[in-house]
Amino acid sequence: MTSTRKKLGIGLIGVGRLGRVYARDLATRIPETRLVAAADPDPAARAWVAAEHEEAAGFAETDELLRGLMAIPANYKILYVHGGASLQFSALPLNLMGRVKKPRAHYFETGNFAARAIEEALATAHSH
């Protein structure tokens, strides 16, 4: 019996030694997934992606990958924050949303840490 479920598309950031292992695992070991995009500043790494994973798009910049996969408009800024410091849960809303008249932020609840970040943001300003 074959599954009619759509495979989960994955985008990798960095396809160096370990990134290539992940890419191969996505292609051969995890049948529910497929590699759809990869970002790496190294042209040789992008060439490897093109040769090994025909359907995967290669990007030089992580911003390009995210904008392409998530349809993030060009007038939106992408902020990269280290995920290991809970201090950032309150520092980001205090520093960034405190600078505008009608502060708003959009969060994706993906797990425990995301829920904690949302809780801190709600204490500071209006968020979604």
Dihedral sign computed on CA atoms, order 3, 4, 10, 15: positive
The owner of tokens 């990134």 is: 19
CB atoms within 10 A of CB 42: 12
d(CA 126, CA 106) in angstroms, rounded, equals: 9
Question: What is the residue-level pLDDT of the chain in tens, covering all 128 positions?
Answer: 455 678 888 889 999 999 999 888 888 888 888 888 899 999 999 999 999 988 888 899 999 988 888 899 999 988 776 655 677 777 777 777 766 777 677 788 888 888 888 888 887 765 55
Whole-number pLDDT of residue 31: 84
What are the chain's domains?
8-70 (3.40.50.720), 88-127 (no CATH)
Which CA distances in Å does 31 have to 11, 24, 77, 112? 16, 11, 34, 27
Helix axes 88-96, 112-124, angle to 10 degrees: 40
Whole-number pLDDT of residue 81: 65
**Count of residues for the chain?**
128
